Chain A
């Protein structure tokens, strides 16, 4: 769980944040003003300060917010001046945007606000569509607008070049003021409430946010244009309303609710990707007709409300089709406000003690949760005054010395307090109070709109004397008012004054809480709830948790004494007889077996594992499988020490796993078994796994030299290389290598020979290996106690909606008889409807509903459709006359939660990562590690050492465009591929300057866009989009960029170069004996120091349909540095050797085999 923050404002207007790892509220020190309200999301926090301006606090990140401005310089040739800025009158501007329609001289670009700064000056972009241009960056054409080329021809009459300049958002970790400007001048009245959300409406890369605000007059405003590159947004747009709004709440998705002055609620409808503002309001009645609603809070799928009597209500029946829900359920507890944060977790401020409460037990199945639990941690100020009794600040002192508290409250409520720092009294409320004091019965009639016109200074100039007299009415009166008039939910101030005379208490009084950025769920372990011991208990609270306290003295003592005891009691007496003779132990069970002969089917078998002590005292065992054949009892057996891998195979009908031995791998026919329940399967798998490890003497965590691999299901496997693995000339046959599972779920894994292992999940989350073992179903003995953490992964399941056009009704879901299913998978062969499509395995659970996927390659129209002339051809995002079919992709997110020896490396999600294969000899020497974020930023990790494999921080390496592939090889050679297909070499990367100094654009092979790069010791190989493999020629120490690309091969999907320049590829369309195969692992033969590009391919192992008889001959390939294993079916996707990666990407479900490589 990465660290995230819960934000809150106390009744004095001070902003605090509480870290999920922390145990105290940290005051936001740089907030010079008092705040009324805050609304947080993960990347930033918005707030309304007491000056009624809106402020934005963007959290700093290793990747800066930068925006690329561009403009084009246009020139025309004439015989006199050659190319010059003298253009024809009909031509475009001399400086223009890309279309030529807008005049854009360099000096017309301004920073959007004072929160931005220029990174540097304007410069010329010399990259033209992935190819470097001549020095000046000019591209030529016959005329505007036309196709530009980088070469000047005889008929090139015009030319243009692109200038770029970056600006950077500098006001991070600071409250930056947001001007209250609408489209047409300043807004008429100040803000009263604010709510941020909506990031799930559109897909991630743009990072769009919705910000809703309520003005004092009850108008609602929507802030336009907030996204990653524009955290502040552009301006406010008014949203028409059926009444006057007092408070609004916006969820992460399309849920927006607001409370009307009269106590009803309104729900925004029509919020879509194209229209995040929505289209209309629908009124929902208050839960309690006597007491109108005063507050509402919405999440992904939940709505909570508070009524004037402080009762809490939960809205039943909310889903994406019905944002209105169906009915209210009264909940226990009295709150003044409620906030729904991430994962629909609920936070509230109690009416009674003004403490922040967390709703326990909120899960996706039980969104209403179970009970309220007070967040009970001190504020940083409290601790200071505890420890040093010297009350440096009035605030912190006020908490403990009641005399001063009174002084403080007097000062706060004193009208003479300086104007720039007015007390955080809600002005409208104050004036309400004032009105109430005079005429309480009319309270409900009074609405703020009566009190002043737009921009009326009265709003900011509160008559505090009146307030004070009112407050002096006393607790009883105030209580009465509260019930009647407290329609505005920020009721902080007067309750405060009511309580203060009784001596301020040790616990803070809160006014507002926002959990929108707080990534907790009901499983999170938080140290927030028992702070009675929090201060003194930092040691004890860790003793049970997984923490450095594992090295506590008591633990050390136990370990030491136990080993002393063994020495004392056993060392001299080894010759004594053991009291208990070792015997055979048998565990039996019933299973189903996918029988070996045709017709293949599941048959009931009895299953037994016999364990005994082997000749050398090691544990060994035999698996027996008893079955009936023609009424005859037969059995099948496998020696435990011959099992090479146990693979869980989850599908939705059966809990199955496969047992492989070397022989079975050659036959491509594992023992497939199905257990009755998942639990039973896991028990067996864990037992068999321990048994196999025991028989091979493997215990504890994987060694540093271990080989890591990931299956296409995301399971992680490890192989311990044996000393004889590389023995020349008879290396261990690789189908005898033993692979055992470690917990966790990853999409790719990278390691180096020093034991630094990084992985990336399907949701781009980054994980670093912690040094533990086990996790997942490997519980108990097969798992370490330390270093096992919860791991989650999220991925999408896709289905396609297909339609055909007919002249009468247009596009309908009625296809031709020959057409594919109208709801299908990508190939169209399988019917996949929304209802019958299940998550990939029982471990995955749906976490969202089906949604149209607009991110599919080829583009879509506004409704997500892609058009084509017929199925299956290439699709495009707009309809033409020739298109008769269309399809759109639906995605549904599912989530998996497991455990494993992995710890998250927050916060930046990655798409690619590379670690230098070898290097660092000492434990403190930095290990170069580069990565590409899911947005395409190139990042260099600092502080990665053997002791700190997670490193400390990312160093952002600026690029002019997003990147997609990166590789680091020997001698810190870093090569990368940009999204436009151009290759880059990073210059001057050294241990002293880990991020290098500049990018060298390497021209791509002619007319080819590169996809992937891999760097060995001296070789650089790339693969382009058409599957060609290219070798970089002319690399020398003095010229690390090389000179030219040489074509090696075609039909290549992926390349991996080892640290000794060994070359492995995944090839398609390899001619097999019966058919063409896909995803074949091939090895380059004849690679020699003087012959770095080798001679020919060895197409050793390939994919063939499972129905063909297979005799996979595996042979030690090449010169002993590598060996190859062939482990059959659909499991292995990517394999990392100790030193370098070998990727095998195969579509799910395809049967294939794969090679592992290892390095001596």
Chain B
């Protein structure tokens, strides 16, 4: 029987094969070849696409280049969502490799945040971790860490160092045994068909009478539509890291094992493909 620790590795080392193609209207000096890359599911687009940028800049004039951004089938991709989430949300039932279009012009100001440097990503990443720890431990763990420990978390993600990251992150995943779990589970539920970016509420892993909450309990409470009744066919897929956990999976376990490095459990609710 595999150990739970293997899940952490599988989650960390998840990769999405991606084909980057330049947007047709971009002005190039010669034809731009598509660029193929394995993107880490747990990282951020702008953090891992230096190579993509370099590749396409070779065929473009410097004056034609503004801030790089991406879209998938016309949907601008938010860099501040983890890559795996973007894929699950927008492209989970499409053929691989994932085909992303690269833009250097017409930055969609209404849809995307600017990302001038990696320090912006770092700030976003750290604020997510801090928010998650506020939910889990009233910020006690993250506040007890030193600056260098925070740095280690970030460097671990940036350099794809699993051991380095988890040596620190495990402290964020601890909880007093007598309480049986975190204070609240840091989660976000994303819906493709909604105007709201995501749903986030306070939800405890254990009910006041000692009952262990499951993924199903969470959905029932927060987004009941996602659960199909017995008498109807399944309408929605509940996807985390490209898989569909059973609804009876304990939420605490999910939070410990299937959270992204930003310590949030990013859950995509997507319609079942019609075909």
Contacts and interface: CB of A to CB of B under 8 A. Distances in A.
* A and B found bound together: yes
B248 A530 contact: no
A667 to B, nearest CB: 30
A779 B170 contact: yes
Interface in B221-275: 241-246, 248-250, 252-253, 257-258
A579 B38 contact: yes
Interface string A669-687: 0000000000000010011
Contact of A569 (B158, B242, B244): B242
A103 to B, nearest CB: 64
B16 interface: yes
Interface stretch (A217-225, A546-554, A623-631, A713-721): A546-554
B28 interface: no
A577 B180 CA distance: 42
Nearest to B174: A779
A551 B3 CA distance: 11
A540 interface: yes
B163 A786 contact: no
B123 interface: no
Contacts of B180: 544
B268 to A, nearest CB: 14
A1107 interface: no
Contacts of B253: 543-544
Number of chain A interface residues as a range: 35 or more
A99 interface: no
A835 interface: no
Contact of A544 (B16, B37, B250): B250
Nearest to A561: B243
Contacts of B14: 565-566, 569
A671 B193 CA distance: 61
A1027 B37 CA distance: 71
Nearest to A772: B3
B3 A785 contact: yes
Contact of B241 (A553, A565, A687): A565
Interface string A553-590: 11101110111111011101100111110110101000
Contacts of A537: 210-212
Interface in B113-166: 155, 158-161, 163-164, 166
Nearest to B3: A784
Contacts, number: 152
Contacts of A541: 210, 212
B212 A543 contact: yes
B49 to A, nearest CB: 7
A700 interface: yes
Q: Which has the most chain B C-beta neighbours within 10 Å: A553, A579, A580, A694?
A: A579
A781 B37 contact: no
Interface in B155-208: 155, 158-161, 163-164, 166-167, 170, 177, 180-181
A533 interface: yes
A65 to B, nearest CB: 38
Nearest to B169: A780
Interface residues of B, number: 55
Contacts of A585: 155, 159, 161, 164
B30 interface: no
B17 A569 contact: yes
A780 B167 contact: yes
Contacts of A533: 209-211
B1 interface: yes
B205 to A, nearest CB: 9
A790 to B, nearest CB: 10
A525 interface: yes
A780 B97 contact: no
B49 A579 contact: yes
A577 B36 contact: yes
A797 interface: no
B43 A580 contact: yes
Nearest to B9: A781
A557 B250 contact: no
A608 to B, nearest CB: 13
A532 interface: yes
A908 interface: no
A569 B246 contact: no
Contacts of B112: none
A144 B147 CA distance: 87
A690 interface: yes
Nearest to A563: B10
A558 B15 CA distance: 17
Interface string B83-114: 00000000000001100000000000000000
B5 A578 contact: no
Contacts of B218: none
Contacts of B166: 780-781
B94 to A, nearest CB: 12
Contacts of A557: 245-246, 249
Contacts of B39: 579
Contact of B210 (A532, A564, A580): A532
A561 B244 contact: yes
Contacts of A780: 166-167, 170
A946 B109 CA distance: 64
Contacts of B252: 544
B209 A576 contact: no
B58 interface: no
Contacts of A551: 1
Contact of A694 (B16, B97, B163): B163
B7 A579 contact: no
A540 B211 contact: yes
A955 to B, nearest CB: 31
B212 A530 contact: no
Nearest to B206: A544
Given A554-B249, A569-B16, A573-B97, A781 B167 contact: yes
A587 B168 CA distance: 12
Given A550-B1, A577-B38, A565 B243 contact: yes
Nearest to B250: A543
Contacts of B248: 552-554
A1041 to B, nearest CB: 46
Interface in A510-555: 525, 529-530, 532-533, 537, 540-541, 543-544, 550-555
A576 B38 contact: yes
Given A533-B209, A544-B181, A565-B14, A786 B38 contact: no
25 contacts: A543-B212, A543-B253, A544-B212, A557-B246, A558-B258, A559-B2, A561-B244, A561-B245, A568-B96, A569-B16, A569-B17, A569-B96, A569-B242, A573-B15, A576-B97, A578-B37, A579-B43, A582-B159, A587-B164, A683-B167, A691-B163, A700-B3, A781-B5, A784-B5, A785-B5
Interface of B: 1-8, 10-11, 14-17, 36-40, 43, 48-49, 51, 96-97, 155, 158-161, 163-164, 166-167, 170, 177, 180-181, 209-212, 241-246, 248-250, 252-253, 257-258
Given A554-B250, A566-B10, 4 more contacts: A562-B243, A568-B96, A573-B17, A783-B5
- What are the 7 tightest A-B residue pairs by CB atom distance, in nearest-first order? A530-B210, A573-B17, A561-B243, A780-B170, A579-B48, A554-B249, A785-B4
